[in-house]
Amino acid sequence: MLKDFFGKKVKVINLGIASFAEDLRKQGVETVHTDWRPPAGGNKKIQALLDKVASWQSKVKSAKGAR
C-alpha cells in the first residue's frame, strides 16, 4: 500500500540531470547517479530486442522464486 511507503527513508536512483543527484547527496539522501546514455546507442530496434530479453528474464526469475 502506498501509505506504507510514507515515513520510509527515500533512496534514489537518478537518471539524467546530475544536479538533482548532487542536491540529494548534499542532504544526505542515499543516491546513485547514473552516467545515463541512450540504450543501444539510440538504436530502437536493438533496444526492443534487449527489452524482450529483459522481459523474459524477469519472468524466469519470478518463476524461479529468485525475488
Partner 1 sequence: MVISHLIKKQTYFDSVTLMLIGSQVKKLPGIDSTVVGMCTDYNIESLKRLDMYQSSFDGLTPNDLIICIKAADKQTADAGIAEVEKRLASRKQTSGSAELPPSSQEEAASRLPEANMVVISVPGEYAAREAEQALNNGRHVMLFSDNVSIEEELRLKTLGASKELLVMGPDCGTAIINGTPLAFANAVRSGDIGVVAASGTGLQEVTSTIHRLGCGITQAIGVGGRDLSEKIGGKMTLLATRALAEDPATKVIVMLSKPPAESVLKTLYAELKNIDKKIVIYFIGADPKAIEAQGFIAASNLEDAAIKACDLSTGKKHNSETREEQIIEAASGSKMTGKHLRGLYSGGTLCDEAQRLLQPVIGEISSNTPVKGCKEMPDVYKSSGHCIIDLGDDNFTRGKAHPMIDPAYRSERMLQEIADPETGLIIFDVVLGYGSHLDMAGEMVAAVEEGRKKSGRNPLLAACICGTREDPQNYAQQQKILEDAGIKVFPTNVAMVSFARHCLERNK
Partner 2 sequence: MLIDIQQANANAIAAIQASQPVLKGIGTALEVVPGMKKNLILHAGPPITWERMSGPLRGAVMGALIYEGLANTPEEAEKLAATDKIEYSPWHEHDGVGPMAGVGTASMPVWILEEQKGGRKTFCTLNEGLGKVLRYGAYSEEVITRLKWMETVLAPVLKAAIPLAPEINLKNMIAQALQMGDEVHNRNKAATSLLIRELAPAIVKTSFPETDKARVLEFMHSNDHFFLNLSMPAAKMMLQAAEWIEGSTIVTTMCRNGTDFGIRIAGLKERWFTGQAQIVKGLLFPGFSEEDCNPDIGDSAITETCGLGGFSMAAAPAIVKFVGGTVNDAMNFTRKMYEITDGESQAFQIPNMEFRGSPLGINLLKVCEKNVLPQINTGIAHKKAGVGQVGAGLVNPPLKCFEDALEAYVEKYCKDE
Residues of this chain that interact with partner 2 (CB under 8 A) are: 37, 39-41, 43, 45-46, 49-53, 55-57, 60-61, 63-64, 66
The Cβ of residue 29 has, within 10 Å, a number of other Cβ atoms equal to: 13
Residues touching partner 1, count (CB under 8 A): 42
Are the C-beta atoms of 37 and 18 separated by less than 8 Å? Answer: no
Report if residue 57 touches partner 1, rule: CB under 8 A.
Answer: no
The Cβ of residue 31 has, within 10 Å, a number of other Cβ atoms equal to: 18
Are the C-beta atoms of 54 and 37 separated by less than 8 Å? Answer: no
The one of partner 1, partner 2, none whose footprint includes residue 1, by CB under 5 to 8 A per kind, is partner 1
Minimum Å distance from CB 4 to partner 1? Answer: 9
